A and B are shown apart, each in its own frame.
Chain A
Amino acid sequence: MKVYHQTGFRYKWNIESFLNGVGNGLIYSPINIDADKLLALDVKLKHSGFLDPQLYLLYEAKGTLDTYPYFPGNIKPDFATPDLDNSHIQLAQLCVDYQVQNNFEYLIIPSRYYTDNPTTFFSQSTDYFVTPFCDYIRNKNIQKKILLSVIVKTIMLSDEEKRNEVLNWITGHQNIEGVYLILENNFTSKQIKDFDYLLNALKFIKVLKDNQMEVHLGYSNTEALLYSIAMPDSVTIGSYENLRSFGIKRFQDMEKSQMRAPNARLYSSYLLQWVDYEYIQAMKKLMPDYANYFDDSEYRPLMFTPEFKWHFAKSEPYKHYFYVFDRQIKSLPSTQEGRIEELKCKIKNALTLFKKIENEVLLDENSDGSHLPTWFNVINAFQKELTK
């Protein structure tokens, strides 16, 4: 299973980390990197990776998105939805050409985003994106694998009719090799603790794998570990929370809205949890062996010095996470059965460690591993599904 860097704001951290041997490639984010700058990047940063075209909202020119030739506003000023009728072929050509110019590993067919998908969503997506993209790629005889971007809304996991509709649509395209799958996350907690959601997500991925499709899971957080038991082809590592959880806000111009700075957090592969630095400080005072609860990396010595000023904008905790999580994913057994057993074992170990910590330090629900019992139960339920 591969690990891609989901890049965004401060994508240089990802590039540095990748050049340091972490991850298999990068997924580029047009709102954060100028089109020409991306073209000028060294090929070795692009041949194993791909572009997320980010046409989720056709009219929002957030960040550097409008520097891309295929951005609708560059095709026609004041571009509106009806313009897609006349411009979809041109848009597909420009978008494919740009991706080919960069020589990415995969070609990506974009997806639009709606809060509530209209009833014509799938037929329109086929007409405006899938068909013109595939036709152009075939006519130009471009020999690259094609991935279809799909945003999976919560209702597509919970509602049988919606789930059937989206799965029939995805698997109905004969010319694509796989999907760039994005599970929309509307949960307010930092970790997903919804049993049904997680189990349905696993089942969804499994259907696609049963259809022999490549599944590349975008915007993954630590749930990537759990999703790994459905055998996807890749998961992602991202720095800020909005790169580890898909929300449309990231693509909207919110200049006037107030952003709250999050507390810095550190990931532990032993605890399967990001832990708020304030608790790490408390552990430091109260638990002599506190460092053993966290992984070693080239960044750890610095972070654990008394002088280190924890701040969400510092690179070390993220680079540490990239390194640790990439290694953790790569160390997973290659078989489904092996992964399931190993993950169950890791969860039990993590729960034991949390018990020890909470003898000394009480943690809140975003640092205390309270998602782990749900993970364990979901794994058991999924395991049962596999034997049906």
Chain B
Amino acid sequence: MAVSTPDAPAAGDAGAPPPGQYSGGQHDGRNRDDGGNRGGGRHGGGDHGDGDHGGGRRWRRHGHRGHGGTGGPVGGRSPLSSFAGHAVLAVLSVACVFPICWMYATSLRRPGDIYDTSLLPWPLSIGSYRHAADVIPIGQMLVNTFVVASLTALGQLLTGLLAAYAFTAWRFRGQRLLYLLFVGTWLVPFQVTMVSNYTLLFRLGLLNTLAGVVIPTLCTALGVLLLRQHMESFPKEVLEAARIDGRSSWSTLWTVVVPNLRPALAALGIVLFINAWNEYFWPSMVLQQANSMIQLGLRGFLGGTEGNDWGGIMAASGLACLPIFGLYLVLQRHIVNAFVHSGLK
């Protein structure tokens, strides 16, 4: 999967896991592919993509390549194609990042220089930020959004963890059907369920509350799917041993499974947090007053000024992005990994 994969051949060369490694994952015929991939992936830098099936054999190939040294990809490494590659990626990177840079540049100009076109704002000024904070209660909105996103992510992790555990630790009647029920939520668009959910929230008296934003989103197929795939790679023997030791399934979950899944849980948690932070449709329906979550406040600000207050708007937008970019700067690799992985599933 993901981003570590472009480096994966190197990882394969360095320490191709012994063939025995993946055998632990092949406990069950139907899930052989998943299991095999997972089993190897946890050791080889998380290299398990969806396009790849028949995981076990792949490792042997990698290992083989390490010894035999068939060389790099086809055609070798010509400086020209490498230069072209750099050029393409550089252009793409600028195209992707420029609007964001421009937003921060505008927000940091002095209110008088807003229409400047220099890329680096000078002299710097936080006047726009101060102005934005006067117009809308940014601090309060950021706190609200943070609370909602955290609770949503935690709830989704918990329901996902329990459901994934049920799907992996037991074989039971109706398993496939129930699993499809979880995955099927992907297909049901929000626009079909919104009327009924809206009226239910109304009846529960949860409209215009942050709880009303959080509660309907407490379970996500993504969490169940990803955690289940991680759990499939977990050796069944360990679960069996814990059971024979007389541990209840509940304590096995928290003392054996969860500590081993910590990296996966952390990565998934971050993805869910960011998704919840960026969710707009549902909060905009539940919360009528505009100044409760950052995107709604921003939307109100944007509509209210008719686009003449660009300094303030860019400052508010910049603040709306800031927590996520902060998280991204610290955990860049993991976040990209987790997102691309979740996209592949």
On whether the two chains bind one another, the answer is no
